[in-house]
Amino acid sequence: MDIEKEIEIIKQRNLRVEADKAWELSWIRRLFITALTYALAGLWLQLVGLSRPWLSALVPALGYLLSTLSLGSVKTWWLGRHHRKP
């Protein structure tokens, strides 16, 4: 395989990796998962007969959303402690 073809393959892979990373960090993804969590939790709580299931379903949905907000700072802290240059 010639070097130019290998470079092109690496560039295409990098584009896919960058797109995946952008998706992982996107607000659309976070809000979609939050809404899905809320809907599923609300349906389940309604099915088991809990009073005010839709209010109670806010707990796991907002918990998920808050956890995504804190992960950036936790990641930065962890990388600083575990991936120091020698």
> Residue 85 above 70 pLDDT?
no
Which residues fall within 8 angstroms of residue 29, CB to CB, at 6 or more apart? Answer: 23
d(C-alpha 25, C-alpha 33), whole Å: 12
- pLDDT-based confidence at 1, cuts 50/70/90? low
* Full-model pTM: 0.75
Domain ranges of the chain: 3-82
Please report the pLDDT score of residue 47 as a whole number.
97
**In angstroms, how far is CA 85 from the centroid of its own chain?**
28
